[in-house]
Structure 1
């Protein structure tokens, strides 16, 4: 009898051996893929760009690049890139090794980061922007020496969303790229659309219509914007003479000079009643301008003359949100590069992070308040300055430890070149200063030596005595041996100086 390949986990439930492993297999692989869809028609390994504008035009990203020559589109692109390039940047250590941070900081300072960031931001315009990385082995490390943006139309994605390079040998499927070679910043890329979303697709038709409207507007202005010359000829004038006279009128419009027979006349009539028609073209152009601003900047208030100050400020906040999204694309891409550098030189582990931020302005109100508090005697810690003003840890000097209890001002100020400090408004006594100077002069004449001479018999007694009782018994006997003559003379002189100064400067 064959034994069951399993075990009863309950009186009514039997589980076969290995059933859990087989059940876990679907959890580790994708089920919903393109290859299993009935409506997916694969063109070999080539996945076409689903951009609707490119599909309708039957062209590639080159048509988007041509849009950048239009003044408004080009200006908005520069403004959008400039907002990101103006940010501060740095390498955060996190839990990475100090050697790794030092190496990566050196690499990033050697790279032309402004140009690299500008090329990475082309991903917001075209949806994706391949960046080829060149590596070099030097000083025991493998580091990137250049990061170069390549035209996006040279690449496409396969059915597995892998980037491929279209070569002469493989013009359709493309060549699969090696790892650690191409960075790929993308905007809103998904499984369904690995090409990302290009913002220039939103400005294509408004720009085309604006160019067409401008052409019609120029024709309209030329036709109805100037004066009309009306010539009058006799009724029986021949057709050839009429055409010749019309040519003269045309020349007159250009040169303002004409020679006509005396039996003809010319009237100049101003164009009128066409203002409403001209406004139609102007409104069309302004509408197209607004659409371009909304697509690239997210608002139309900060760039139109009719906007108010409040609406312009509100529009700038929207622009900051778009700037932060663009910044995250740059940060993610450069952090991928940092991971590659760390992998080649230090293996797997914690890596530092590339971070961009806006330099905050110092709050003048808070700074003035803190200045007044310091003047009044308040003391702030370095932690407060770091929190309040966004300073780094090494921007501030190490705080001096407070004086230990029991130490007087004289001991705490010992070694200070600046001398004692007085608070503002404290009264100064010149008499006391003079007296202190006199006492210091007297002390310099040997008061220390005089005191040592007086205490010498006591010190000798302590050294010769056997115990404390003997010291106390002999102490009264040596009092007469203590010579205090010099000390008495010094004190007498000090008292004389004090009394003399008091008589000279005392009040009646």
Structure 2
């Protein structure tokens, strides 16, 4: 017996192979064994570089939203997500569970919930407390979320195991561990090193701070150097009291533009053209800070700056759309976790999924084309409508086809009848069509004979138009005329009488086609 191991006690022998297998499942690189001194305490501090530098909590970022440019970018980013439509996709779940989840989400204020979940992109993480209640609309009394409320992120922290904890009055330092299925936690780019996520407002802090400072100094600069200087001149040896009195008069003149000075004194207005170029330094600083804020929140600055062209603005919109898709993924993960909680509490099996999507713009040209084709008798399938117009399966209802337009006696419904001689009365497409047996024909026979009669009449209608056209083409070839010369002579061939006959024939043919389509009949058209 060749076993490699060690006797840990007189009765227990441990093989080395067992230790090797245990090393595969055990966590080696953990916070307990690492030299990270930030993880030695009972909670993990937020590793945000701005917060660490200032020694403040995440509430400092809330003041940045008062800035006009920061607030505008936040509204634009949220609006891109709130403009999307939502639906519950069944997937592997049952139809009953999917229908109930859809009813539950219809009761929630999803627009407000999406806006609050988007705060995770600004602060890195956003705890959402779920308020559960018994559903009154379900017979079996499901436990469903009545409200989902966003709570201030600075009230929470993470422990060394990356679990969310609440800073209560009793446990202000290390926080209370939260119960399961109570708090949703959307986070942006959270990791093992940083469970708090990446806060986009962190990238806006210094640009917004310098923007405020630069604007303040720009206002002071404008007040000091925006107006021309007034320089008073007095004779040498003037007493100081007289000089101070003149200075007070000049200071008042700045406000009132009126001053009284001795006749031996003078006042000059001095301007400095160099100050104009100096003021552009503040403007450049403010524009740079604006661009940095736009890049931090929107990923680009092409759609917010005046020097952008159409190509750069279009490319900037693509970047903004990609950031929107990232925000959508974060929100969908939180909503899908809520759906899994609902199913786990109240039912068994798979859970449906929450999906945000952009409503595709329906092509008006395609809709008009489909309407025209449907009027001529073309029948589209259910899958075609779902694919072309982005419809769901429950958006369409299959309706039974209409009954045959013929009466039980073989006559036509809708009041259409045949005379005793076998001629259809009251029907423009069948006028002049006679039936040899003298009996009321079926609708199929009537339409067959009407089509045959129409084809014969087409020859009489087209002959006065085709024969002169052929003659005109032959003459043009013999005379060597160009195609433009030939086209300029074509309108002369269409006389009013020929156009009227063609219009009447097209009206009759359209009536036959629509009647056949409404009746569900198929008629072989003679070639």
Q: Where on the TM-score scale, by shorter chain, does this alignment land: which range?
A: 0.7 to 0.9
- Asked whether the 8 Å contact 1:46–1:173 carries over to 2, the reply is yes
Per the alignment, residue 492 of structure 2 pairs with none
User: Tell me, what secondary structure is at the counterpart of 2:165?
Assistant: strand
> Could you say if the C-alpha distance between residues 417 and 410 of structure 1 is closer, same or farther in structure 2, counting changes exceeding 3 Å?
closer
- Asked whether the 8 Å contact 2:44–2:158 carries over to 1, the reply is yes
How far apart, CA to CA, are the structure 1 residues paired with 2:440 and 2:148?
A: 73
Per the alignment, residue 327 of structure 2 pairs with 326
Asked if residue 192 in structure 1 is aligned to residue 193 in structure 2, the reply is yes
> Could you say if the C-alpha distance between residues 315 and 418 of structure 1 is closer, same or farther in structure 2, counting changes exceeding 3 Å?
farther
Given candidates 87, 94, 97, the residue that maps to 1:97 is 94
- The structure that has the greater radius of gyration is 1
Displacement of 1:231 in angstroms is 1.0
The residue correspondences of 1:71-90 to structure 2 (distance < 5 A) are 71-90=68-87
Unaligned 5+ runs, structure 1 = 7-15, 421-425, 442-508
Per the alignment, residue 170 of structure 1 pairs with 171
How far apart, CA to CA, are the structure 2 residues paired with 1:131 and 1:289?
A: 31
Per the alignment, residue 389 of structure 2 pairs with 389
- Asked whether the 8 Å contact 2:165–2:176 carries over to 1, the reply is yes
* Cα deviations by residue, 1:109-160 (Å, 9 ceiling, x for unpaired): 1112111111111000000011111111345211111111111111111111
User: Tell me, what secondary structure is at the counterpart of 2:259?
Assistant: coil
User: Tell me, what secondary structure is at the counterpart of 1:302?
Assistant: coil
Displacement of 1:329 in angstroms is 0.8
How far apart, CA to CA, are the structure 2 residues paired with 1:179 and 1:252?
A: 73
> Could you say if the C-alpha distance between residues 414 and 256 of structure 1 is closer, same or farther in structure 2, counting changes exceeding 3 Å?
farther
- Asked whether the 8 Å contact 1:92–1:355 carries over to 2, the reply is yes
User: Tell me, what secondary structure is at the counterpart of 1:251?
Assistant: helix
Q: CA RMSD in A?
A: 3.2
> Could you say if the C-alpha distance between residues 384 and 103 of structure 1 is closer, same or farther in structure 2, counting changes exceeding 3 Å?
closer
Per the alignment, residue 469 of structure 1 pairs with none
Per the alignment, residue 398 of structure 2 pairs with 398
- Asked whether the 8 Å contact 1:233–1:265 carries over to 2, the reply is yes
Displacement of 1:238 in angstroms is 1.7
- Asked whether the 8 Å contact 1:34–1:40 carries over to 2, the reply is no
Greater shift in the superposed pair: 72-81 or 211-220: 211-220
How far apart, CA to CA, are the structure 1 residues paired with 2:93 and 2:21?
A: 35
> Could you say if the C-alpha distance between residues 31 and 350 of structure 1 is closer, same or farther in structure 2, counting changes exceeding 3 Å?
same
The residue correspondences of 1:134-213 to structure 2 (distance < 5 A) are 134-139=131-136, 140-213=141-214
Displacement of 1:415 in angstroms is 8.6
- Asked whether the 8 Å contact 2:405–2:412 carries over to 1, the reply is no
Displacement of 1:387 in angstroms is 1.6
How far apart, CA to CA, are the structure 2 residues paired with 1:259 and 1:418?
A: 106
> Could you say if the C-alpha distance between residues 125 and 251 of structure 1 is closer, same or farther in structure 2, counting changes exceeding 3 Å?
same
TM-score, with structure 1 as normaliser: 0.75
> Could you say if the C-alpha distance between residues 222 and 52 of structure 1 is closer, same or farther in structure 2, counting changes exceeding 3 Å?
same
Per the alignment, residue 231 of structure 1 pairs with 232
User: Tell me, what secondary structure is at the counterpart of 1:274?
Assistant: helix
Per the alignment, residue 283 of structure 2 pairs with 282
User: Tell me, what secondary structure is at the counterpart of 2:344?
Assistant: helix
How far apart, CA to CA, are the structure 1 residues paired with 2:38 and 2:395?
A: 61
How far apart, CA to CA, are the structure 1 residues paired with 2:161 and 2:279?
A: 54
How far apart, CA to CA, are the structure 2 residues paired with 1:414 and 1:321?
A: 64
- Asked whether the 8 Å contact 1:128–1:152 carries over to 2, the reply is yes
- Asked whether the 8 Å contact 2:228–2:269 carries over to 1, the reply is yes
Asked if residue 107 in structure 1 is aligned to residue 96 in structure 2, the reply is no
Per the alignment, residue 354 of structure 2 pairs with 354
> Could you say if the C-alpha distance between residues 391 and 41 of structure 1 is closer, same or farther in structure 2, counting changes exceeding 3 Å?
closer
- Asked whether the 8 Å contact 1:335–1:354 carries over to 2, the reply is yes
- Asked whether the 8 Å contact 1:67–1:204 carries over to 2, the reply is yes
How far apart, CA to CA, are the structure 1 residues paired with 2:411 and 2:171?
A: 83
Displacement of 1:85 in angstroms is 0.8
Displacement of 1:396 in angstroms is 3.3
Displacement of 1:409 in angstroms is 9.7
What is the count of residue pairs matched by the alignment? Answer: 419
- Asked whether the 8 Å contact 1:167–1:174 carries over to 2, the reply is yes
> Could you say if the C-alpha distance between residues 299 and 253 of structure 1 is closer, same or farther in structure 2, counting changes exceeding 3 Å?
same
User: Tell me, what secondary structure is at the counterpart of 2:66?
Assistant: coil
Unaligned 5+ runs, structure 2 = 5-12, 418-426, 442-527
How far apart, CA to CA, are the structure 2 residues paired with 1:329 and 1:132?
A: 17
Greater shift in the superposed pair: 301-310 or 48-57: 301-310
How far apart, CA to CA, are the structure 2 residues paired with 1:241 and 1:400?
A: 106
Per the alignment, residue 249 of structure 1 pairs with 250
Displacement of 1:241 in angstroms is 2.2
User: Tell me, what secondary structure is at the counterpart of 1:156?
Assistant: strand
How far apart, CA to CA, are the structure 2 residues paired with 1:416 and 1:4?
A: 99
* Cα deviations by residue, 1:347-404 (Å, 9 ceiling, x for unpaired): 4x2001111000110124444554565567654322122222212223334276899x
* Cα deviations by residue, 1:197-237 (Å, 9 ceiling, x for unpaired): 00001111111111111111112212222121111111111
TM-score, with structure 2 as normaliser: 0.73
Asked if residue 56 in structure 1 is aligned to residue 83 in structure 2, the reply is no
- Asked whether the 8 Å contact 1:225–1:271 carries over to 2, the reply is no
How far apart, CA to CA, are the structure 2 residues paired with 1:317 and 1:308?
A: 15
How far apart, CA to CA, are the structure 2 residues paired with 1:337 and 1:124?
A: 19
How far apart, CA to CA, are the structure 2 residues paired with 1:51 and 1:265?
A: 62
How far apart, CA to CA, are the structure 2 residues paired with 1:77 and 1:182?
A: 24
Displacement of 1:296 in angstroms is 0.3
User: Tell me, what secondary structure is at the counterpart of 1:74?
Assistant: helix
The residue correspondences of 1:106-125 to structure 2 (distance < 5 A) are 106-125=103-122
